[in-house]
């Protein structure tokens, strides 16, 4: 009877090992299978699955599945909700720097124009001040001549 039990245990162990192997093969096949999301319900299901395997260890079938799901979600969201904005912060920073380089010559020209206008205004104020001084001196001289007479 012990031989029969041992034989049955061995058979169960072999069956368990085979089932585990099949399960591992199925998990690997599922992980590498391409994922396509076509509906909002599929999108929600993919997001829930991502939440469940988000901390997957790199190199495992779960991590490969996570990568496939994330790629599918990104493709679906880009198709459903296209954005004209930069895809990443780095792109936005690059565009801002490029725009700054484009605007700097225009800003420099405007500053040069403003400087010339300020210099002209300062010269005008100085000329008016000199003219007022000359007029004031002339007026004073006239008063002095009137007093002498």
The DSSP-derived string for 50-102 is: HHHHTTPPTTSHHHHHHHHHHHHHHHHHHHHS--SS-SSHHHHHHHHHHHHHH
Cβ neighbours of residue 49 closer than 8 Å, sequence gap 6 or more = 65, 69
| Measured CA angle at 36 (ends 72, 69), to 5 deg | 35
pLDDT confidence tier of residue 136, bands split at 50, 70 and 90: low
CA–CA separation, 37 and 69 (whole Å): 9
Task: Yes or no: say if 65 and 31 are a contact pair by the CB < 8 Å rule.
Answer: yes
Mean pLDDT of the chain: 78
Domain positions in the chain are: 11-82, 86-149
Q: In the predicted model, is pLDDT for residue 149 greater than 90?
A: no
pTM of full prediction above 0.75: no
User: Measured between alpha carbons, how far is 96 from 124 in angstroms, rounded to an integer?
Assistant: 40
């Amino acid at each position: 009877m012990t031989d029969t039990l041992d034989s049955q245990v061995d058979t169960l162990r072999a069956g368990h090992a085979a089932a585990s192997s099949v399960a591992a093969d199925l998990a690997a096949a599922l992980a590498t299978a391409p994922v396509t999301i076509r509906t909002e319900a599929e999108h929600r299901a993919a997001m829930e699955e991502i939440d469940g395997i988000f901390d997957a260890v790199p190199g495992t079938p779960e991590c490969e599945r996570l990568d496939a799901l994330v790629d599918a979600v990104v493709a679906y969201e880009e198709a459903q909700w296209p954005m004209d904005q930069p895809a990443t912060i780095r792109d936005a920073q690059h565009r801002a720097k490029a725009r700054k380089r484009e605007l700097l010559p225009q800003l420099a020209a405007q500053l040069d124009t403003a400087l010339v206008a300020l210099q002209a205004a300062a010269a005008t104020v100085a000329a008016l001040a000199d003219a007022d001084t000359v007029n004031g001196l002339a007026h004073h001289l006239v008063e002095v001549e009137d007093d002498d007479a």
